[in-house]
Structure 1
Amino acid sequence: MIGHDRPGIVADVSEALARLGANLTDSTMTRLRGHFTWTLVCTGPAAPEADAALAPLAADGRLLATVREVGSEVEAAAAGEPYIMSVHGADRLGIVAAVTRVLAEAGGNITDLTTRLTGPLYVLVAEVDLPSGTADAVAKRLAEAAAGLDVEVTLRPAEMDVL
């Protein structure tokens, strides 16, 4: 889903899906410069039924709801060690491309990434799974890439959440 932000979108969407019998299992939602974005994974009725249930919420054209069926995949165990990478500095072209290329070349998998521009300050925070034993080499390559962009980068082990 994407559209102009307004209070109540999450409640409206989740209620429509619940009435349909769709169980929301995984999601991520954020607001980007006044635009609402939400990606959801649900179990329940087929995509055409979910599409029909959400259609009234998108009728005014301010919200776009796209429904797609996804196969039932067994979630793979993390193939590595979890790290948090953060980058901050003056905004410039190529920051995301440079640091994510370093991660990709090391075999790292980005599992979550957020960027934010606040005035002249650009901030990137990513959760990354790195192959075991590669963190020091990756940190060194990230520092080299960051120096070329005149930004600061940190890579630290992620603390495991306790539920």
Structure 2
Amino acid sequence: MNELAITVIGRDRPGIVADVAEVLAGLGANLTDSTMTRLRGHFAMTLVCSGPAAPQVEAALEPLTADGQLLATVRIVRGDGAALSGGEPYVMSVHGADRLGIVAAVTRVLAEAGGNITDLTTRLSGSLYVLVAEVELAPEVVERVTARLAEVGRGLDVEVTLRRSESDVL
């Protein structure tokens, strides 16, 4: 079995998830990880599945992309990407007035501390900007990162919080 990363982007419409999932199920592909969202009227999905060869999946997705409304890409991925955990789970949230450079500034603090962002979402609602990120951090850097994020937040006039997160319970 091949492990594949598939992305689908395009103008949102009802049924995209069902269409893609049906194609993959029809090929015998097992969907293992995914994230899907709508961004200002556009749909974006990234998923990892195990199944047939990439060219076979690309061909099967072709009817969904034929009208030019969706773009799908398929790539082989290696199993070594899952072992990147380098710390404990935290949630960082940022909110305040929208301004240029918020994402760059707060993610740089995390990167400099060796933090790994595992999920990040931003939303703009009027003039309010909200960012929520799931982050893995080594316990020994958390106090320093929290202080640095507060300093960066003051400079951007946004509130930044970092709190310990509970691991997924399955």
* Amino acid corresponding to residue 112 of structure 2 in structure 1: E
User: Residue 141 in 1 paired to residue 152 in 2?
Assistant: no
Tell me the residue number matched to 1:51: 58
Q: Which whole-Å CA distance do the structure 2 matches of 1:79 and 1:65 have between them? A: 31
Number of residue pairs the alignment of both structures matches:
163
Deviation string, structure 1 residues 35-92 (Cα, Å, up to 9, x no partner): 0000011111111000000000011110101111112326216211110000000000
The correspondence for 2:80, drawn from 31, 51, 73, is 73
Distance 1:74 1:106 in 2: 20
What is the Cα-based RMSD across aligned positions, in Å? 1.1
Tell me the residue number matched to 1:125: 132
Q: Which runs of 4+ in 1 moved over 4 A?
A: none
Q: Which deviates the most, 41-50 or 71-80? A: 71-80
- Describe how 1:82-101 pairs up with structure 2 within 5 A: 82-101=89-108
Distance 2:155 2:61 in 1: 46
| TM-score where L is the length of structure 2 | 0.93
Quote the Cα distance in structure 2 between the aligned partners of 1:36 and 1:90: 26
Q: Which residue of 1 aligns with 2:9?
A: 2
SS of 1:126's equivalent in the other structure is strand
Distance 2:101 2:81 in 1: 35
- 1-side partners of 2:85 and 2:148: how far apart? 23
Code of the residue aligned with 1:87 in structure 2: it is V
Structure 1 length-normalised TM: 0.97
One-letter amino acid of the structure 2 residue matched with residue 159 of structure 1: E
Who is 1:21 aligned against? 28
The CA distance in 2 between the partners of 1:50 and 1:113, in whole Å, is 28
Counterpart code for 2:116: N
Unaligned ranges ≥5, structure 2: 1-7
Residue aligned with 2:60, SS: helix
What one-letter code is carried by the residue in structure 1 that aligns with 2:133?
Answer: A
> Percent of counterpart pairs with the same letter?
74
Unpaired stretches in structure 1, ≥5 consecutive residues = none
Q: Which amino acid aligns with 1:36?
A: F
